[in-house]
């Protein structure tokens, strides 16, 4: 006889308890427990040893060269590590309206030319998908559409059709009849993902899962969802802006440092092949407080414009804001300027912004932040053909950064004539033609230059 009982799940980490708790003992978050009704039945299974199960040594395990499938979108392939690995599960998260469904429909458009693709939607009707597809162009008949939320029906369709790639939009709308809770709950999301994972690994099907995000920007549901899948991708950017950034935060088959840059247009998402040129478009001329710095995202150098506005405070407590970078890092660098250089800016308001809405936290932009603040404070513009990068320490020293050769090459390609960089990084640069390199050891040397 089946018995019904209540289990309390932590929405943040998936921890289970028999009673409600104010604080989760696993992740230490408050007010995250929710009640779920589960059904348990007693079953007796004879313990047996599977004859096919063997304990193997590491040297006995044979590896097959996995052939990655190209999606037809180079920016997505870059983030995935070179393409889709057959049998993998990929979770795509992002804010509402950011372009998750649009990107995956474009993936279907390219993949359907070489393989069978099944797009399963639990949020949109077939007519809505057709309207969005008409804006993107022609689609192959190998793309099949299904509007369904019952996981048992979805599983039977996948086992019958055997597509090479499946899109689930979204996991929060799917429900398993064996789980006695509402769709989108902790139990439903976890069990639905477990069923899809078994299909992906057992049949060798690549499955994309769309996940809703919370107000904090993380995927809604238990954190165990991100642990179950092979790859987790996040769509970032302002939904009202034209650009989008696809960032990998977990990837079992590649690096998590790569990003893909897209531009939202009327006919879908377009790849931005040169993000540096895109980010610097519309840069003001002869304006104080504007500096171009170079940041690395994986193996890709991106040139960004750092803007600063420093003005006398009208109140007793100066105001500091930072958009696109770490607020505490800006305060730290301003303290270094006041202590090591003697720049009295403790009673000045400071507003720092990275143009274009992109967010960068790499320490290599420290030198750009320093120069932008000083340039605005002294009201002296910096040469528009000058680019800077370097990490700044608490003693005012300029420390080395990784991949200086790639940064200099990107600056030279976009027409910059002077590059201010850490002096210890000069020996790592082999090709110095076409650009003047100025090595500095401290921020006092940098300020003497400008």
15 Cβ contact partners less than 8 Å away, ≥ 6 residues apart:
9, 24, 25, 26, 27
Report the Cα 126 to chain-centroid distance in Å: 29
Give the mean pLDDT of 163-167. 96
**Residue 350's pLDDT band (cuts 50, 70, 90):** very high
- Provide the H-helix boundaries in 266-359: 275-279, 327-336
pLDDT > 90? residue 404: yes
pLDDT digits (tens, 9 = 90+) for 10-27: 877 778 888 899 998 888
Give the DSSP H or E segment for 71.
none
Q: What is the pLDDT of residues 366-384, one digit of tens each?
A: 999 999 999 999 999 999 9
The answer on pLDDT for 43 being more than 60 is no
Nearest in space to 259 (alpha carbons), one of 244, 238, 281: 244
CA 138/CA 413 separation, integer angstroms: 36
Strand extents, DSSP E, 242-347: 243-251, 259-265, 268-271, 290-297, 300-312, 320-323
The mean pLDDT value for 52-56 works out to: 66
Calpha distance 177→66 (Å, rounded): 35
- What pLDDT, on a 0 to 100 scale, did the predictor assign at position 226? 84
Contact at 8 Å (CB) between 142 and 181? no
For residue 49, what pLDDT is reported? 47
- Report the distance separating Cα 267 and Cα 133, nearest Å: 9
The alpha carbon torsion through 137, 141, 145, 151 (nearest 10 deg) reads: -140
137 labelled ligand-binding:
no
147 sits in the region (left: phi over 0; alpha: psi -120 to 50; else beta) called beta
Q: Residue 9 corresponds to which tokens in the numbers above?
A: 């799940």
Topology of 278-449 in CATH?
Answer: Ribosomal Protein S5; domain 2 (3.30.230)
Return the minimum-mean-pLDDT range out of 136-145, 276-285, 318-327.
276-285
In this prediction, residues 219-242 reach a mean pLDDT of 76
- 50-59, 243-252, 266-275: range with lowest mean pLDDT: 50-59
Residue 179's pLDDT band, with cuts at 50, 70 and 90, is confident
CA 408/CA 388 separation, integer angstroms: 10
**What is the rounded distance in angstroms from the CA atom of residue 108 to the CA atom of residue 90?**
14
Predicted local confidence at residue 66, as pLDDT: 61
Cα–Cα distance for residue pair 443/392, rounded to 1 Å: 8
100 is an annotated ligand-binding site residue:
yes
Asked if residue 260 belongs to a known ligand binding site, the reply is no
pLDDT digits (tens, 9 = 90+) for 236-260: 877 667 788 898 989 998 888 788 9
Pairing label, strands 16-17, 3-10: antiparallel
Q: What is the pLDDT of residue 45?
A: 45
First-last CA distance in the chain: 82
Q: Retrieve residue 20's tokens.
A: 């409600």
pLDDT at position 182? 77
Q: Consult the annotation and say whether 290 binds a ligand.
A: no
Mean pLDDT computed over 206-211: 93
Q: What are residue 265's DSSP bridge partners?
A: 268
User: Binding residue per annotation — 284?
Assistant: no
The answer, yes or no, to whether residue 32 has pLDDT greater than 90, is no
- The answer on whether 101 is annotated among ligand-binding residues is yes
The helix or strand, by DSSP H or E, that contains position 102, with its residue range, turns out to be helix 100-111
> In the chain, what percentage of residues exceed pLDDT 70?
91
CB atoms within 10 A of CB 399: 17
Strands 165-169 and 206-211: parallel
Average pLDDT of the residues in 81-101:
90
The top-level CATH class assigned to 67-273 is: alpha beta
Distances in Å between the Cα of 104 and the Cα atoms of 71, 136, 138, 387 are 10, 12, 15, 37
Judged against a pLDDT cut of 90, whether residue 282 lies above it is answered with no
- Residue 300 confidence class, pLDDT cut points 50, 70, 90: confident
Give the model's pLDDT for residue 143: 95
Please tell me which residue, 446 or 39, carries the higher pLDDT value. Answer: 446
Q: Is 96 annotated as a binding residue?
A: yes
The continuous run of DSSP H or E covering 181 comes out as none
Average pLDDT of the residues in 311-329: 91
Average pLDDT, the chain: 87
Distance CA 298, CA 245 (A): 14
Query: What confidence score (pLDDT) does residue 44 get?
Result: 42
Q: Which two tokens stand for residue 11?
A: 């929405």
- Rounded to an integer, the average pLDDT of 344-371 is 91
Burial 90-120 (b: 16+ CB within 10 A, else e): bbbbbbeebbbbbbbbbbbbebbeeebbbbb
Rg of the chain (C-alpha set): 26
Which of the pair, 34 or 86, is modelled with greater confidence? 86
Let me know the angle formed at the C-alpha of 66 by 64 and 69, rounded to the nearest 5 degrees: 160
Looking at residue 285, its pLDDT comes to: 84
Residue 393 annotated as binding? no
Rounded Cα–Cα distance for residues 363 and 179 (Å):
47
């Amino acid at each position: 006889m089946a018995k019904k009982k209540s289990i309390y799940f932590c929405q943040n980490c998936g921890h289970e308890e028999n009673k409600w708790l104010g604080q989760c003992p696993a992740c230490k978050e408050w007010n995250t427990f929710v009640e779920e009704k589960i059904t348990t039945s007693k079953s007796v299974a004879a313990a047996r040893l599977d004859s096919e199960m063997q304990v193997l040594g590491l040297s006995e395990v044979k590896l097959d060269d996995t052939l990655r499938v190209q999606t037809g979108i180079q920016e997505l392939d870059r983030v995935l590590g070179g393409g889709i690995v057959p049998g993998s599960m990929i979770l795509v998260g992002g804010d509402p309206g950011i372009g998750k469904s649009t990107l995956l429909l474009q993936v279907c458009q390219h993949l359907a030319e070489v393989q069978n693709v099944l797009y399963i939607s639990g949020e949109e009707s077939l007519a809505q998908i057709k309207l969005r597809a008409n804006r993107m162009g022609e689609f192959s008949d190998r793309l099949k559409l299904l509007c369904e939320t019952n996981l048992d029906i979805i599983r039977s369709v996948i086992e019958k059709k055997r597509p090479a790639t499946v899109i689930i939009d979204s996991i929060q709308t799917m429900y398993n009849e064996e789980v006695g809770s509402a769709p989108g709950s902790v139990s439903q999301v976890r069990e639905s993902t477990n069923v899809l994972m078994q299909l992906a690994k057992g049949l060798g099907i690549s499955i994309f899962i769309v996940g809703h995000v919370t107000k904090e920007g993380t995927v809604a549901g238990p954190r165990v969802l991100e642990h179950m899948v092979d790859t987790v991708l996040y769509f970032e950017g302002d939904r009202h802006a034209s650009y989008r950034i696809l960032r990998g935060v977990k990837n079992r088959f590649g690096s998590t440092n790569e990003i893909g840059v897209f531009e939202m247009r009327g006919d879908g998402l377009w790849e931005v092949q040169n993000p540096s040129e895109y980010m610097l478009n519309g840069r003001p001329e002869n304006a104080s407080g504007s500096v171009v710095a170079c940041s690395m995202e994986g193996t890709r150098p991106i040139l960004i414009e750092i803007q600063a506005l420093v003005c006398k405070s009208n109140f007793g407590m100066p105001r500091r804001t930072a958009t696109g970078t770490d607020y505490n890092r800006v305060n730290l660098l301003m303290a270094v300027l006041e202590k090591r250089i003697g720049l009295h800016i403790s009673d000045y308001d400071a507003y720092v912004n990275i143009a274009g809405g992109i967010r960068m936290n790499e320490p290599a932009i420290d030198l750009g932040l320093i120069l932008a603040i000083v340039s605005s404070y002294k009201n002296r513009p910096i040469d528009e053909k000058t680019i800077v990068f370097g990490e700044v320490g608490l003693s005012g020293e300029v420390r080395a950064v990784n991949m200086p050769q790639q940064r200099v090459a990107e600056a030279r390609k976009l027409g910059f004539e002077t590059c201010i960089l850490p002096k210890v990084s000069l020996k790592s640069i082999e090709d110095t033609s076409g650009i003047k390199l100025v090595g500095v050891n401290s921020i006092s040397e940098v300020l003497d230059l400008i």
